[in-house]
Structure 1
Amino acid sequence: MSERETWTTEEFGASHEGAVGVLLADGTVPGPVLVEMNSSGSGRSVSEWSAYDGRLGHGPRAAVLRAVCSCGWTGTEHRLDWDEIGDQDLFDADLAAPDACSQEWDEHTDEVAMSAIPLPETFTDLLGQVEKEIEKLAKTSPLAALRAARRLEVTAVETSYWPARDAQQDTTTEQAAAALGLNEDAARKLLARFGRWSPYL
């Protein structure tokens, strides 16, 4: 597994893990770069966009940066102007592309949330109010706020058992994944956790 900065949301987790992706001039995605840590040749595998500057000991030169997501979605291609970048490190070149990639991935996860099964407005309003009350409680009593959050966990476990069982019986994993905004593996594990059966059955 190579190292790079990634983005996730609390709700969708690894099902929609975003990052700044790299394309080379021929349109291919480069493999990870081995960054040597000492003279023995040992190092770490890196696929962070800023490593692809074409310098000796670094990765090949990036031609394009784009947002990528673990679900397979990709964002707009932002072509790099190497005449303007010159000899600067990519990370220090004050590029607009990485921030644009992050913004596009945010918009992608907003679309995922919109495509998931909708929740009643009364429920989302109630959740928002509960969040505000816990935040308010945390200012005067952090332990009371923790107990309140724990009560929410207990409520989630208690109320999700039969819905998970019914969903497992009435829908396919593919349908559940689409409704929850998750990949199929994450949806299967979520149903198993709430329905209290082994995800490996």
Structure 2
Amino acid sequence: MGWQREEFETHLGEVGVLLADGSEPGPVYFDLGSGSHFHESTDWWVYDGSLRRPTATSMRGKCACGWRGERTYPIDWEQVDRRDRDAYDTAGPLKDWEAHLDDV
């Protein structure tokens, strides 16, 4: 789930991730069967390194308009509860995105 402010419908925000080399990974694709459609996700928690996925080392705020937060926040995968990913603290990226909207 992303972040949204009513008056800024084109500025949907979410947690973005960075790899150890500082690059932003593309979407992760999930093969759900024998069909031709593959589900894709850019949710921060899919970059945990499992099942040959890339491992994110940090997070930052990101917006649908292309804005990316300058501040990064380390991800401690040992502290991420796989059953309740929303319990992990993503307040830093959220605050940075909110500041971006204040600037807009």
Q: TM-score, normalised by structure 2?
A: 0.78
RCO (CA 8 Å, sep 6+): is it higher in 1 or 2? 2
Contact in 2 for aligned 1:53/1:90 (Cα 8 Å):
no
Other-structure match for 1:108: 100
Q: How far has the Cα of 1:90 moved from its partner? A: 8.4
Structure with the bigger percentage of helix: 1
Unaligned runs of 5+ in 2: none
Q: How many residues align?
A: 102
Higher strand share: 2
Paired with 1:43 and 1:94, the residues of 2 have a C-alpha distance of: 28
Q: Among 82, 85, 94, which residue is 1:89 paired with?
A: 82
Residues 1:51 and 1:95: Cα distance change in structure 2 (over 3 Å): same
1:81 CA drift (Å): 2.6
Q: Deviations over 1:133-188 (max 9, x none)?
A: xxxxxxxxxxxxxxxxxxxxxxxxxxxxxxxxxxxxxxxxxxxxxxxxxxxxxxxx
Identical counterparts, % of pairs: 38
Q: Secondary structure at the match of 2:60?
A: strand
Go from structure 1 to structure 2 and tell me whether the alpha carbon gap of 1:88 and 1:10 turns closer, same or farther (over 3 Å shift). closer
The verdict on how the C-alpha distance between 1:73 and 1:90 changes in structure 2, with shifts beyond 3 A counting, is farther
Residues 66 and 34 (structure 1 numbering): CA distance in 2 closer, same or farther, change over 3 Å?
same
SS state at 1:30 partner: coil
Does the 8 Å CA contact 2:81/2:87 hold for their aligned counterparts?
no
Say which one has the larger Rg: 1
The alignment's C-alpha RMSD in Å is 2.5
Taking the TM superposition and a 5 Å limit, the aligned residue runs for 1:186-201 are: none
Instruction: Spell out structure 1 runs of 4+ moving beyond 4 A.
Output: none
1:86 and 1:99 mapped to 2: Cα distance?
Answer: 15
Specify the code of the residue in structure 2 equivalent to 1:81.
D
